[in-house]
Amino acid sequence: MSEETPTHERTFVMVKPDGVQRGLIGEIVNRFEDRGLTLVGGKFSRLDTETARDHYGEHEEKPFFDELVSFITAGPVFAMVWEGADATRQVRSMVGETDPAESAPGTIRGDYGLDLGRNVIHASDHEDEGANEREIKLFFDESELYTYERIDDPWLYEWIVTTLTWFNSLR
Protein backbone atom coordinates (compact mmCIF):
# COMPACT_ATOMS: atom_id res chain seq x y z
CA MET A 1 0.00 0.00 0.00
CA SER A 2 1.24 3.51 -0.73
CA GLU A 3 2.78 5.32 2.22
CA GLU A 4 0.36 8.22 2.30
CA THR A 5 -3.34 7.82 1.60
CA PRO A 6 -4.45 10.97 -0.30
CA THR A 7 -7.13 13.10 1.33
CA HIS A 8 -10.67 12.05 0.49
CA GLU A 9 -12.25 15.38 -0.42
CA ARG A 10 -15.03 17.16 -2.28
CA THR A 11 -14.39 19.48 -5.19
CA PHE A 12 -16.61 21.92 -7.08
CA VAL A 13 -16.90 21.59 -10.87
CA MET A 14 -19.14 23.40 -13.34
CA VAL A 15 -19.93 22.91 -17.03
CA LYS A 16 -19.92 26.48 -18.38
CA PRO A 17 -22.65 27.87 -20.69
CA ASP A 18 -20.68 26.91 -23.83
CA GLY A 19 -20.35 23.31 -22.63
CA VAL A 20 -24.07 23.11 -21.82
CA GLN A 21 -25.11 24.56 -25.20
CA ARG A 22 -22.73 22.21 -27.03
CA GLY A 23 -24.21 19.13 -25.36
CA LEU A 24 -21.08 18.20 -23.42
CA ILE A 25 -22.59 17.59 -19.96
CA GLY A 26 -22.84 13.83 -20.50
CA GLU A 27 -19.27 13.50 -21.83
CA ILE A 28 -17.90 15.44 -18.90
CA VAL A 29 -19.89 13.58 -16.21
CA ASN A 30 -18.85 10.31 -17.85
CA ARG A 31 -15.15 11.09 -17.56
CA PHE A 32 -15.31 11.76 -13.83
CA GLU A 33 -17.53 8.72 -13.22
CA ASP A 34 -15.19 6.48 -15.22
CA ARG A 35 -12.24 7.78 -13.26
CA GLY A 36 -13.92 6.54 -10.06
CA LEU A 37 -15.00 9.81 -8.46
CA THR A 38 -18.37 9.92 -6.71
CA LEU A 39 -20.98 12.48 -7.80
CA VAL A 40 -22.42 13.87 -4.57
CA GLY A 41 -24.39 16.78 -6.06
CA GLY A 42 -25.46 18.14 -9.45
CA LYS A 43 -27.90 20.72 -10.79
CA PHE A 44 -28.59 23.41 -13.35
CA SER A 45 -28.16 26.98 -12.32
CA ARG A 46 -28.33 30.32 -14.12
CA LEU A 47 -25.88 32.75 -12.58
CA ASP A 48 -26.97 36.33 -12.06
CA THR A 49 -24.35 39.05 -12.44
CA GLU A 50 -23.85 39.47 -8.71
CA THR A 51 -23.24 35.74 -8.09
CA ALA A 52 -20.91 35.58 -11.09
CA ARG A 53 -18.86 38.53 -9.82
CA ASP A 54 -18.72 36.81 -6.44
CA HIS A 55 -17.69 33.44 -7.91
CA TYR A 56 -14.88 35.02 -9.93
CA GLY A 57 -13.99 37.58 -7.23
CA GLU A 58 -10.27 36.68 -7.39
CA HIS A 59 -10.18 38.02 -10.98
CA GLU A 60 -11.97 41.33 -10.33
CA GLU A 61 -8.93 43.42 -11.28
CA LYS A 62 -8.18 41.51 -14.50
CA PRO A 63 -8.88 43.11 -17.91
CA PHE A 64 -11.03 40.15 -18.97
CA PHE A 65 -13.30 40.28 -15.89
CA ASP A 66 -16.37 41.90 -17.52
CA GLU A 67 -16.16 39.55 -20.51
CA LEU A 68 -15.89 36.60 -18.16
CA VAL A 69 -18.95 37.67 -16.17
CA SER A 70 -21.05 38.18 -19.31
CA PHE A 71 -19.92 34.79 -20.70
CA ILE A 72 -20.69 32.86 -17.52
CA THR A 73 -24.14 34.46 -17.18
CA ALA A 74 -25.06 33.92 -20.86
CA GLY A 75 -26.91 30.64 -20.26
CA PRO A 76 -27.42 27.86 -17.73
CA VAL A 77 -24.44 26.13 -16.16
CA PHE A 78 -24.35 22.60 -14.76
CA ALA A 79 -22.86 22.66 -11.27
CA MET A 80 -21.48 19.51 -9.64
CA VAL A 81 -19.67 18.31 -6.55
CA TRP A 82 -17.35 15.32 -6.97
CA GLU A 83 -15.77 13.34 -4.15
CA GLY A 84 -12.76 11.07 -4.02
CA ALA A 85 -9.10 10.72 -3.15
CA ASP A 86 -7.16 13.85 -4.08
CA ALA A 87 -10.27 14.91 -6.04
CA THR A 88 -9.34 18.58 -6.58
CA ARG A 89 -5.93 17.90 -8.08
CA GLN A 90 -7.14 14.94 -10.14
CA VAL A 91 -10.07 16.89 -11.60
CA ARG A 92 -7.81 19.83 -12.46
CA SER A 93 -5.43 17.54 -14.31
CA MET A 94 -8.36 16.08 -16.28
CA VAL A 95 -9.60 19.62 -17.09
CA GLY A 96 -6.29 20.75 -18.66
CA GLU A 97 -4.75 24.22 -18.87
CA THR A 98 -6.81 27.42 -18.61
CA ASP A 99 -6.31 27.96 -22.36
CA PRO A 100 -7.73 25.06 -24.42
CA ALA A 101 -5.12 25.80 -27.09
CA GLU A 102 -2.42 24.94 -24.57
CA SER A 103 -4.24 21.88 -23.19
CA ALA A 104 -3.07 18.38 -24.03
CA PRO A 105 -5.35 16.06 -26.03
CA GLY A 106 -7.07 13.76 -23.57
CA THR A 107 -7.93 16.61 -21.22
CA ILE A 108 -11.44 18.09 -21.32
CA ARG A 109 -10.32 21.51 -22.56
CA GLY A 110 -7.80 19.87 -24.92
CA ASP A 111 -10.51 17.69 -26.44
CA TYR A 112 -13.45 20.11 -26.53
CA GLY A 113 -12.12 23.67 -26.82
CA LEU A 114 -9.97 25.99 -28.93
CA ASP A 115 -10.38 29.43 -27.37
CA LEU A 116 -9.40 30.83 -23.96
CA GLY A 117 -12.71 32.70 -23.66
CA ARG A 118 -14.73 29.50 -24.31
CA ASN A 119 -13.07 26.87 -22.17
CA VAL A 120 -16.08 24.65 -21.41
CA ILE A 121 -15.54 23.89 -17.72
CA HIS A 122 -14.69 25.38 -14.35
CA ALA A 123 -13.01 23.44 -11.54
CA SER A 124 -11.97 24.63 -8.10
CA ASP A 125 -8.28 24.94 -7.46
CA HIS A 126 -6.19 24.45 -4.30
CA GLU A 127 -4.13 27.46 -5.39
CA ASP A 128 -7.21 29.59 -4.74
CA GLU A 129 -7.35 29.10 -0.94
CA GLY A 130 -10.69 27.82 0.36
CA ALA A 131 -12.22 27.80 -3.16
CA ASN A 132 -13.90 24.39 -2.85
CA GLU A 133 -15.80 25.21 0.33
CA ARG A 134 -16.72 28.71 -0.87
CA GLU A 135 -17.93 27.61 -4.31
CA ILE A 136 -19.82 24.54 -3.06
CA LYS A 137 -21.66 26.82 -0.62
CA LEU A 138 -22.41 29.36 -3.32
CA PHE A 139 -24.23 26.74 -5.43
CA PHE A 140 -25.50 24.04 -3.05
CA ASP A 141 -27.34 23.70 0.23
CA GLU A 142 -25.96 20.92 2.42
CA SER A 143 -29.28 19.06 1.92
CA GLU A 144 -28.57 18.86 -1.84
CA LEU A 145 -25.35 16.88 -1.33
CA TYR A 146 -25.50 13.11 -0.86
CA THR A 147 -22.93 10.90 0.82
CA TYR A 148 -22.83 7.30 -0.34
CA GLU A 149 -20.31 4.63 -1.27
CA ARG A 150 -19.90 3.53 -4.86
CA ILE A 151 -20.29 -0.23 -5.17
CA ASP A 152 -16.85 -0.40 -6.83
CA ASP A 153 -15.05 1.65 -4.15
CA PRO A 154 -13.30 -1.48 -2.77
CA TRP A 155 -11.82 -2.04 -6.23
CA LEU A 156 -10.90 1.61 -6.70
CA TYR A 157 -8.99 2.09 -3.45
CA GLU A 158 -6.26 -0.19 -2.16
CA TRP A 159 -6.85 0.95 1.42
CA ILE A 160 -10.38 -0.49 1.41
CA VAL A 161 -9.36 -4.07 2.12
CA THR A 162 -12.78 -5.72 2.50
CA THR A 163 -13.02 -7.26 -0.97
CA LEU A 164 -9.53 -8.67 -1.03
CA THR A 165 -9.94 -10.17 2.43
CA TRP A 166 -13.15 -11.78 1.28
CA PHE A 167 -11.62 -13.22 -1.90
CA ASN A 168 -8.65 -14.57 0.01
CA SER A 169 -10.99 -16.23 2.51
CA LEU A 170 -12.51 -18.28 -0.37
CA ARG A 171 -9.22 -19.89 -1.37
| Catalytic site positions | 122
Q: Choose one: 35-43, 45-53, 100-108, 118-126; the region binding ligand IDP (CB under 6 A).
A: 118-126
Q: Give CA torsion, residues 118, 122, 126, 130, to 10 deg.
A: 120
Q: Are 101 and 72 in contact (CB under 8 A)?
A: no
> Which of 121, 125, 129 is CA-nearest to residue 99?
121
Binding mask 56-95 for ligand IDP (x = CB under 6 A): ---x----x---x---------------------------
Between 86 and 125, how does the x/- string for binding to Mg ion read (CB under 5 A)? ---------------------------------------x
For residue 162, which amino acid is it? T
Query: How many residues are given for the chain?
Result: 171
Closest distance to ligand IDP from the beta carbon of 47 (Å): 13
Using CB under 6 A, pick the residue from 125, 136, 139, 140 that binds ligand IDP.
125
Q: Degrees (nearest 5) of the Cα angle 10, 16, 21? A: 135
Q: Does 119 bind ligand IDP (CB under 6 A)?
A: yes
Q: Does 98 bind ligand IDP (CB under 6 A)?
A: yes
Q: CA separation (Å) from 17 to 71, 73, 89, 117? A: 7, 8, 23, 11
Number of neighbours of residue 162 by Cβ within 10 angstroms: 9
- Which residues bind to ligand IDP, rule: CB under 6 A? 59, 64, 68, 98, 116-117, 119, 122, 125
- Which residues bind to Mg ion, rule: CB under 5 A? 125
